[in-house]
Structure 1
Amino acid sequence: MKNIREITTRLLLAIFVLSSVSCDKFLTENPTSDLTDREVLESVTGLGILLKGTYRMMRDGNNNPPISSPSGIKILSTVTGTDMMVNQEQVGNNWNFYTYNNQRYDPAGAVTSVIWGTAYKVILNTNIIIGNIDQAAGVQSEKDAIKGQALALRARNYFNLVRLYQHTYSVAKGKLGVPLQLKEDLEPKERATVEEVYKRILQDLGDAEHLLKNYDRSNNRNYYNIDVVNFLLAQVYLTMENWEQAEKYAREIRTTYSLMSMTEYGAGFSSLNKEWVLGYEQGAQDYWWYDSPACWFDFGQNNAPWQSEQILPSNYFVEVVMKDDPRLLVIPNPLYPTKYAATKFRELKSQPPYGHLYDLRAAEMYLVEAEAAARQGKVTEALQVLNLVQSERDASITTTTAQEMLIEAILLERRKEMWGEGIEWFDMLRLKTGVEKTLAQGHYQELSIPALSNKLIMMIPEKEVVNNRLLVQNPHPGQEPVFKP
């Protein structure tokens, strides 16, 4: 018999999510249904609504979108890298969680707690769905689709957690990762090893791959389907340095999705197009306008409802890295004449819905396939895929077939194609590189973060360690600056 705590937890979470669902373009189910608590857990209809609420919770970052939503994590990842910076003239020290100040990894701070808390709330909801769907009344194909999506959502959240709270797989697979909460209870768990977490991620994605093979999302890019699963598998295998599998799954996306045109690339990343593998169509009532990249990069040029003046490209990135590249979508900064402002992300109009939010797009997978092939010595295949991206972007064409030079060219192309889109932090971790920012490059500060710095990962939230004595805290960067494999 299930204990009272487990039953209460299940019902409270289900009720919470159902009450948070609104009628909008993304979630069209009316939450004011006549379903009882039991029917929520015992019917495909109820669990389907719970799944939609879970999507909404993740997309909106549990109402903390500037930090913990997919878009929020992208913003945090972007300013972690070398090419973008936080506007310290405007924000001073108020936004230090976007720099390498201790606010970003402080166990008592908001950033580490909100990201952790949101991910585990999503995971708990997926556990409810996974734990009840097999016994629920309904058509098997619908049950498979719901379970497959829940497994993929759980896997993605664990993938984010294990990368943000521990160093990369290749150096830390035997180290402590994050707790694996796989059931509906809230019993304390110790931290599984990084290797164990990745094993679970792959198992969940593998199961989702099987369950979603016949699922048709009807061209609704809001929901996870087999393409999203293949995308995530390619990312996971790339991080694990399993080049063969990374190439295989990235190719699934490359051969399914065409690249957007250069005209579409320059349109502002607010309109759904053929390259979007996952994105969120916004209605007038569900648009988190401060979660849009256009807002964060806006100094008056991006038509954003919230002109945040937060993030701008470094002079070095503009004048050296991207010189003469068509993807250099910047202008002289309207507020700070010696700086630049990005026009890569723009809103569609001045009234809601201002535009849609993209999450995953195919170009990343083209470059994953190219990198994975090159690292296996398949330089001809790698070069062909790399050139597909360069040709579509009217960019300089790489010709070298020397393996190491080709890998560097692919990584540079990844930097040019995906700038501002949130891959920077995760690339630094998996590639084991440090960060150098200088005044001479146009940055606001001199900054030198070595490879494998403990400033690159987060500490476990203090309240979690206090409430769960099984948890072992990560080292504080002030005491142990660099990770020791």
Structure 2
Amino acid sequence: MKLKRLTQYALLLILTAFASCKKTYLDTKPSDQVSEADALSTVANARVALNGIYRAMYMQYSDQEQDGFPALMIFSDFMGEDIVHSAAGTVYFRGGLRWTDHRSVSSDLNYFSYRFFYKIIANANMILSRIDDMDGVAAEKAAIKGEALALRGWAHYQSVQFFGKRYDATTVPNSQPGIPILLTNSLDAQPRSSVEDVYKQITTDLNAAITSLSSAGARAYKTHIDLNVAKGLRARVALTMQDWPNAAKYAAEARAGSSLMSAADYFSGFNNLANAEWMWGANQLADQLPTYGSFFAYMSANFNSAHTRPNPKLINSKLYALITATDIRKKLWWDGTTADAVNFPGVINASTGQPEPSQRKARYQHRKYLVKDPTVSVGDIPYMRTAEMYLIEAEANARAGLNDAAVTALFPLAVARDPSYKKSTKTGQALIDEIMIQRRVELWGEGFRFLDLKRTNSPLDRSGTGATVALATVGITTPIPAGDVRWQFLIPRREIESNPSIEQNP
């Protein structure tokens, strides 16, 4: 979608928030009978509009690879090396796994990811343009403003990581092309701003969100951003910018007052927003989604579909070998033995309620994600957890050379997952490596791996991981060097053709 047409769509979520929501609401042009001023005339209306943005983050747009941000979480992990496919699977998400979709100017992945984030940004801008002038309780206005600022910052942050080169703190300024910065709903075509300027704006938005949310009341639902989540986002951005002091600072503040989940909760299916460790996530309702309109239709271990039954997802065998035997997380993946097989019944036949006999079984298959009801591909989706904040704090301190602070931050998480864990005595790169292994295991399947490789300027190497079956026909089978042009998504052709201000990536 070209940026000068974004305002045609920006009011869309706001208007549909007042009506019953349907699958095609993002494909329908907004009615010209309701003005932006009417839709955002009160704080109550602004809150409903904001709710619409959160819902738009996980709803299906036009096909099965466009289930909002969770679809991009899947793409991000499939483009890494830690999720391995046991078979070629269906066509959905295959181009991400093979590193072909994001390098095609005509692919749906590029077009969807580009327009998705700008729809979030445009709708946040609608709210931000009017919230200060509304009558209402100050705390409620502060909450709405803070959430909208955080969403705008988050959307710019996610997008620039896909379409721009990585931020490099050793290069000042980062003048490489980033993405257009959209702060108002202008009809003018927007050029790409530098990566430096995009990150400056992201930081400005998140700092303002933190200030605003500091005077807001407690949120009602974890589906919404609060002060701790805004600080968590600020920590993520600082980590990407190699701003180690702020990454550690905001991560520690973000997790304040939160707790880590129990071992029992760890095996409950990663599908419940009420989990004590979840800071932010999506609450999916069965009557709001199409049959395959869910993260869990592709990623769960027990929903019976053409995506999961013949192609259970595995962990990188090299990574699995690095998990200690006493670590509870090792039980999330089948060790291949008959004794452990009972813990991995696989997908469930909806008619019989029993394991599906036709399912492919493979060593290292997971049981991290489980649908609550095997007949419905629905589950809550984690966007941010307390564990990530411990990992950010530990990594940032380690990269800053603060070894003691790093091992102190890592210990609570590591010992919660492995009761036999002893505080690390490693330093330097060895400590960083240990933290990154913890991060890969802990956040497996939560949408971080591609961007972690990119931000750390690491190569992609799938050799020896078991990732061969699904890549045999087409795609990448050899390492991709750090800094290769393929780490950038191409700007979609439709944007290039309609917006002469946009420069294409190499």
- Which residue of the partner structure matches residue 437 of structure 2? 412
1:82 aligns with 2:81: yes
Report if the CA contact (8 A) 2:89-2:307 is conserved: no
Report if the CA contact (8 A) 2:13-2:123 is conserved: no
1:452 aligns with 2:449: no
d(CA) in 1 for partners of 2:291 and 2:416?
31
- Which residue of the partner structure matches residue 423 of structure 1? 448
**Structure 1 letter corresponding to 2:387:** A
Q: Flag structure 1 segments of 5+ consecutive residues without an equivalent.
A: 1-5, 25-33, 476-485
1:330 aligns with 2:329: no
**Structure 1 letter corresponding to 2:208:** D
d(CA) in 2 for partners of 1:366 and 1:442?
30
- Which residue of the partner structure matches residue 42 of structure 2? 43
d(CA) in 2 for partners of 1:64 and 1:18?
23
**Structure 1 letter corresponding to 2:212:** L
Tell me which moved more, 305-314 or 135-144.
305-314
1:7-60 C-alpha deviation (Å, 9 max, x unpaired): x97686425532256669xxxxxxxxx987532233222222221112211232
Report if the CA contact (8 A) 1:228-1:278 is conserved: yes
Tell me which moved more, 322-331 or 358-367.
322-331
More strand by share: 1
Tell me which moved more, 14-23 or 401-410.
14-23
**Structure 2 letter corresponding to 1:47:** A
Tell me which moved more, 311-320 or 445-454.
311-320
d(CA) in 2 for partners of 1:53 and 1:139?
21
d(CA) in 1 for partners of 2:285 and 2:98?
36
Tell me which moved more, 284-293 or 168-177.
284-293
Tell me which moved more, 286-295 or 352-361.
286-295
d(CA) in 2 for partners of 1:439 and 1:201?
38
d(CA) in 2 for partners of 1:377 and 1:321?
24
1:201 aligns with 2:202: yes
Report if the CA contact (8 A) 2:319-2:437 is conserved: no
Q: Flag structure 2 segments of 5+ consecutive residues without an equivalent.
A: 22-32, 337-343, 347-358, 472-476
> CA 1:46 to 1:234, structure 2 compared with 1: closer, same or farther past 3 Å?
same
**Structure 2 letter corresponding to 1:102:** T
- Which residue of the partner structure matches residue 295 of structure 1? 297
Tell me which moved more, 394-403 or 237-246.
394-403
Post-superposition offset of 1:62: 4.2
Report if the CA contact (8 A) 2:219-2:226 is conserved: no
d(CA) in 2 for partners of 1:187 and 1:222?
33
Tell me which moved more, 69-78 or 147-156.
69-78
Residue 479 of structure 2 aligns to a residue whose secondary structure is strand
d(CA) in 1 for partners of 2:400 and 2:10?
46
Residue 448 of structure 1 aligns to a residue whose secondary structure is coil
- Which residue of the partner structure matches residue 51 of structure 2? 52
- Which residue of the partner structure matches residue 27 of structure 1? none
Post-superposition offset of 1:400: 1.7
Post-superposition offset of 1:337: 4.6
**Structure 2 letter corresponding to 1:458:** F
> CA 1:247 to 1:288, structure 2 compared with 1: closer, same or farther past 3 Å?
farther
d(CA) in 2 for partners of 1:261 and 1:152?
30
- Which residue of the partner structure matches residue 504 of structure 2? 473
- Which residue of the partner structure matches residue 286 of structure 1? 288
d(CA) in 2 for partners of 1:311 and 1:73?
19
Report if the CA contact (8 A) 2:79-2:99 is conserved: no
TM, length-normalised to structure 1: 0.86
- Which residue of the partner structure matches residue 320 of structure 1? 321
Residue 89 of structure 1 aligns to a residue whose secondary structure is coil
Report if the CA contact (8 A) 1:68-1:118 is conserved: no
> CA 1:447 to 1:404, structure 2 compared with 1: closer, same or farther past 3 Å?
same
Residue 221 of structure 2 aligns to a residue whose secondary structure is coil
Post-superposition offset of 1:186: 2.7
d(CA) in 2 for partners of 1:163 and 1:248?
22
Out of 347, 351, 367, the residue aligned to residue 391 of structure 2 is 367
**Structure 1 letter corresponding to 2:478:** L
d(CA) in 2 for partners of 1:212 and 1:191?
30
- Which residue of the partner structure matches residue 436 of structure 1? 461
- Which residue of the partner structure matches residue 403 of structure 1? 428
- Which residue of the partner structure matches residue 349 of structure 2? none
- Which residue of the partner structure matches residue 152 of structure 2? 154
Residue 281 of structure 2 aligns to a residue whose secondary structure is strand
Post-superposition offset of 1:184: 1.7
d(CA) in 2 for partners of 1:425 and 1:167?
13
TM, length-normalised to structure 2: 0.83
- Which residue of the partner structure matches residue 177 of structure 1? 178
Percent identical pairs in the alignment equals 28
- Which residue of the partner structure matches residue 27 of structure 2? none
Report if the CA contact (8 A) 2:13-2:52 is conserved: no
Residue 382 of structure 2 aligns to a residue whose secondary structure is strand
- Which residue of the partner structure matches residue 94 of structure 2? 96
- Which residue of the partner structure matches residue 115 of structure 2? 117
- Which residue of the partner structure matches residue 19 of structure 1? 16
Report if the CA contact (8 A) 1:72-1:291 is conserved: no
1:280-338 C-alpha deviation (Å, 9 max, x unpaired): 2233322466454443234xxx3325452256224624652336242121235864455
> CA 1:187 to 1:267, structure 2 compared with 1: closer, same or farther past 3 Å?
same
- Which residue of the partner structure matches residue 103 of structure 2? 105
d(CA) in 2 for partners of 1:281 and 1:364?
20
Report if the CA contact (8 A) 1:315-1:443 is conserved: no
> CA 1:352 to 1:22, structure 2 compared with 1: closer, same or farther past 3 Å?
farther
By relative contact order (CA 8 Å, sep 6+), the higher-ranking structure is 2
**Structure 2 letter corresponding to 1:76:** F
Residue 468 of structure 2 aligns to a residue whose secondary structure is coil
- Which residue of the partner structure matches residue 414 of structure 2? 390
Out of 329, 345, 358, the residue aligned to residue 369 of structure 2 is 345
- Which residue of the partner structure matches residue 481 of structure 1? none
Report if the CA contact (8 A) 2:312-2:361 is conserved: no
Report if the CA contact (8 A) 1:86-1:98 is conserved: no
Residue 173 of structure 1 aligns to a residue whose secondary structure is coil
Post-superposition offset of 1:140: 2.7
> CA 1:62 to 1:200, structure 2 compared with 1: closer, same or farther past 3 Å?
farther
d(CA) in 2 for partners of 1:108 and 1:36?
34
